[in-house]
């Protein structure tokens, strides 16, 4: 099995300067993203992190617990980057974008692998992502949506659906959507999609009225 070269760490510190626990997590994120959860062994992760298998088990107990830690960290880190970009205005800072993009790409590759395995952990992570989205709308977009939880669930499904259809999207765009260039192209498309209303306001109002009428009869 070929050696996986670890990308720069998701945390903002050189890999060699991280604690053993953080190095293990970073190695696991990269290997899970590259090979999938099942095909990345504790031995592989330990070797990539430069530690013993016993130390991996000391910190995390089992691969399932390590995967849970990676799930939680991936969501926490993505939310942190989103807050920096949106709330702190760093999206306009080229230095921030060049530093954050490799981390975002790795985390999306990890999520793509994690969500496709159909496990209880993947289902729990989807539910947590919906909860996070709903809380984001309540805090930063209050009153904008009539059903913010449904909007959050739909957006998460669209994001993860794109990752699950990686082969089809990559073929349509003639570029791997999880490569740096392909991901940036997809990111620009998402910005265009979210920033331009696709429905005429009058039509949208009529459609809402029609749906409300159907719901009242249901």
Per-residue pLDDT tens listing for the chain (218 residues): 444 444 445 545 455 557 899 999 999 999 998 888 889 999 999 999 999 999 999 999 999 999 999 988 998 998 899 999 989 999 889 888 888 888 888 888 888 888 777 778 788 888 988 999 999 999 999 999 999 999 999 999 998 888 888 899 999 999 999 888 998 899 899 999 999 989 999 999 999 999 999 989 87
* Structure-token pair, residue 24: 């293990």
Domains of the chain: 1-117 (1.10.357.10)
Q: Is the dihedral angle over the CA atoms 55, 58, 63, 68 positive or is it negative? A: negative
pTM reported for the whole predicted model: 0.74
Q: Check residue 9 and give left, alpha or beta (phi > 0: left; psi -120 to 50: alpha).
A: beta
Contact present, 169 and 186 (Cβ < 8 Å): yes
Helices (H), ranges, 36-93 = 42-49, 53-60, 63-86
Q: Is the dihedral angle over the CA atoms 144, 189, 162, 81 positive or is it negative? A: negative
E strands in the chain:
none
């Amino acid at each position: 099995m070929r050696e996986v070269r670890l990308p720069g760490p998701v945390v903002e510190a050189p890999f060699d300067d991280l604690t053993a626990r953080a190095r293990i997590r970073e190695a696991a994120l990269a290997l899970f993203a590259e090979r999938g959860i099942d095909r990345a062994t504790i031995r592989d992760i330990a070797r990539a992190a430069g530690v013993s298998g016993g130390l991996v088990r000391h910190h995390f107990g089992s691969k399932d617990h390590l995967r849970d830690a990676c799930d939680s960290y991936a969501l926490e880190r993505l939310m942190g980057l989103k807050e920096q970009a949106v709330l702190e205005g760093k999206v306009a800072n080229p230095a921030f974008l060049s530093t954050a993009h490799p981390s975002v790409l790795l985390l999306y590759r990890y999520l793509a692998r994690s969500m496709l395995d159909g496990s209880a952990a993947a289902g729990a992570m989807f539910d947590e992502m919906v909860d996070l989205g709903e809380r984001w709308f309540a805090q930063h977009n209050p009153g904008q949506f009539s059903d913010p939880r449904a909007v959050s669930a739909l957006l998460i499904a669209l994001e993860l659906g794109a990752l699950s259809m990686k082969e089809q999207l990559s073929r349509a765009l003639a570029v791997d959507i999880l490569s740096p260039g392909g991901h940036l192209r997809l990111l620009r498309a998402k910005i265009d999609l979210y920033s331009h209303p696709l429905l005429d306001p009058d039509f949208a109002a009529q459609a809402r009225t029609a749906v409300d009428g159907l719901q009242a009869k249901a």
